[in-house]
Amino acid sequence: MTYDCISQVAPEVVKKGSAVLDNPTVKPDSAVLDNTTVKPGSAVLDNSTVKPDSAVLDNPTVKSGSAVLVNPTAERDSAVLVNPTVKPDSAVLDIPSVKPGSAVLDNPTVEPDSAVLVNPTAERDSAFLDLNRNIPATETHNLGPKCTICQQNYMD
């Protein structure tokens, strides 16, 4: 089994169908990340301008029906993520391994068909949860080996 430094992963793989998140304020049926204005049915990431049915992350230009993650170019109906290995119907951010039908963000443990996010608060009908919130503080640092360069946890 080999591990790659997460900080060195390039946004090269694009797969269809997903969303990602990380915002304390979430509206029903929406995926929100670092944006105060969200439209229903949209996922927003690090962008003040959001188009309907679009997910935006660190990109000023987004095409309708697309999810953009740390990448200057986005393809229609695709999710662009900072991970070289992405399974179909998944949104991946800074995690080297993802299970089908899952949205993963900064969490080493993911269950199928669930959205894992770095946010302790969640509203009904929104994809927002933090698996670490139920883990005692003494255990949060024992989730596996860390990269000696970026100090982030690895995942099988």
pLDDT in tens, 80-111: 333 334 443 344 444 444 444 444 443 334 44
pLDDT in tens, 18-39: 344 333 333 333 443 333 344 4
DSSP state of 78: E
Tell me what pLDDT residue 152 has: 56
**3-state secondary structure at position 58:** coil
pLDDT at 63: 42
From CA 97, how far away is CA 156, in angstroms rounded?
A: 7
Distance of CA 79 to the CA centre of its chain: 10
Residue 78 is predicted with a pLDDT of: 40
Q: What percent of the chain has pLDDT above 70?
A: 0
Q: So where are the chain's domains?
A: 1-156
Q: Answer whether residue 146 shows pLDDT above 50.
A: yes
| pLDDT band, residue 147 (cuts 50/70/90) | low
Spatial CB neighbours of 84, under 8 Å, sequence gap ≥ 6:
4, 9, 10, 12, 13, 96
